[in-house]
Amino acid sequence: MSGKAPGLDVVQQWFQAVVTHPGGVAEGLAGEGAQRLIRLDRADLEQVVRRSGNLTAEERLSIYANAYWARLLECLGDGFPVLRSALGEDVFDSFAFEYLQRYPSRSYTLDRMGEHFPQFLEETRPPGADWPDFLVDLARLEWNLAKVFDGPGVEGRTLLTYGDLQGLAPERFASARLVPVVCLRLLAFRYPVNAYYTAVRHAEEGEAVPIPDPAEELVALLRRDFVVRRYTLSRPQHALLEAVLAGAPVSRAIEAAATSQVDDDTLAAELQAWFRFWTAEGFFQALATG
C-alpha cells in the first residue's frame, strides 16, 4: 500500500472481500477483489489492520472470517432442519457453503437467506439423476413451512363454515368464488417429502429414516392458531384448490377436479366431504357471490 490512506468505502469493500472469501483470509487478501481495492502484500497487512499483543492482524481478521461462515451455515441449517438431517451436517454444509457464495444474503433479515436455496439445488443438480428431486422438494417444503408460519394469517377472523354453504342454491354456489385464506399454499412434489418430514419428526433420536422412492405427493399448507398445518391431497383435490387459488368460480374449480376415473355421483359425494373437511379446517375466508 502506498500514498493516501484509503477512504471508508474502500476499507469496507476490502474488509468484506477478505473476511467473506471462501478460501479464508490469506486467499482473500491475495484475491483480485481485495487487491484491486488495496494493493497489499500479506506481510504488510499491519498497514491496514493492527496486530494485538496476542494475535497477528491476519489471525484477528480470521475471527471475522470464521464467524461469517459459521453463522450463516448455522442459520441456513436452522431453516432447513430436516434436509440437514437427511444429508448429514457435513454434506448439508458443503451445499450451503456453495449456495452462500452464489446467493449471499442481501436482506436485513436472516429469514430470507434461504429464499433461493431450493432453486440453487435445482440449478446445481447433477445431470441424469432423480435423487436431487428429493432434496429440491424437501427444501421447497421447509421453505414454505417457514413462510406460512410467519407470513400473513387469519387468526382472530371469522372464516367460511360448512353451514354457510348449505343454505345456498346450487347455481348460486356454482357461480360464486371461494376466497382462500391468505396463508393457503399448494405444493406438488416428485418425492413424498411431506410424509418423509412427518417420519423424521416421529423418529427416535439417532434413528435413520430411509429416503423414500419417488412418487407424486400433493400437499396443502395453511396456518391455524399460529401453527402450520399440512394436508396431503389427491390429484382432483389439488386441481380444485389450484383453481380456487387462481380465482376461478366454483363450477370451474369442480370441473378441474372431474376426471374420467370418477363418475358424477361419486364426485358429488366426494365434493361434499371435501368441502365439509376444508371448511372445518379453515381453508376458506369467504364465498364471494354476485
Partner 1 sequence: MSGTPADRPRRLGHADLGLGVGLRSVHFDHILRTSPDVDWFEIISENYVDSGGRPRYVLQQIAERYAVVMHGVSLSIGATDPLDIEYLKKLKVLAREVNARWISDHVCWTGVLGRNSHDLLPVPFTEETLRHVVERIRIVQDVLERPFVLENPSSYVTFAGSTMEEHEFISRMAEEADCGLLLDVNNVYVSSFNHDLDPVEFIRSLPHERIVQFHLAGHSDYGTHLIDTHDSEVIDPVWELYRLAHELTGGVSTLLEWDAKIPPFPVLHEEVLKAKRFLGEQLAEPAWDQAPSVAAAGSPVPHPLHHIRPDVE
Task: Examine residue 79 and tell whether it contacts partner 1 (CB under 8 A).
Answer: yes
- CB 217 within 8 Å of CB 192: yes
The one segment of 4-12, 209-217, 246-254, 270-278 that binds partner 1 by CB under 8 A: 4-12
Distance CA 249, CA 54 (A): 72
Distance CA 33, CA 263 (A): 66
- Closer CB to partner 1, residue 16 or residue 175? 16
What angle (nearest 5°) sits at the alpha carbon of residue 139, between those of residues 134 and 142?
A: 125
Distance set, CA 177 to CA 172, 250, 269, 273, 276 (Å): 10, 6, 20, 19, 16
Burial group, residue 188, by CB count within 10 angstroms (0-12, 13-18, 19+): middle
- CB 236 within 8 Å of CB 254: no
Task: Examine residue 66 and tell whether it contacts partner 1 (CB under 8 A).
Answer: yes
The one segment of 67-75, 235-243, 255-263, 281-289 that binds partner 1 by CB under 8 A: 67-75
Q: For the segment 98-157, give every residue that binds partner 1 (CB under 8 A).
A: 104-111, 145-146, 148-153, 155
Q: For the segment 198-227, give every residue that binds partner 1 (CB under 8 A).
A: 223, 226-227
Contact with partner 1 (CB under 8 A): which of 27, 41, 74, 216?
A: 74
Residue 131 beta carbon to partner 1: minimum distance, rounded to whole angstroms? 24
| Contact positions vs partner 1 (CB under 8 A) | 5-9, 11-13, 15-16, 19-20, 46-50, 52-55, 57, 59-61, 63-64, 66-68, 70-72, 74-75, 78-79, 81, 104-111, 145-146, 148-153, 155, 223, 226-230
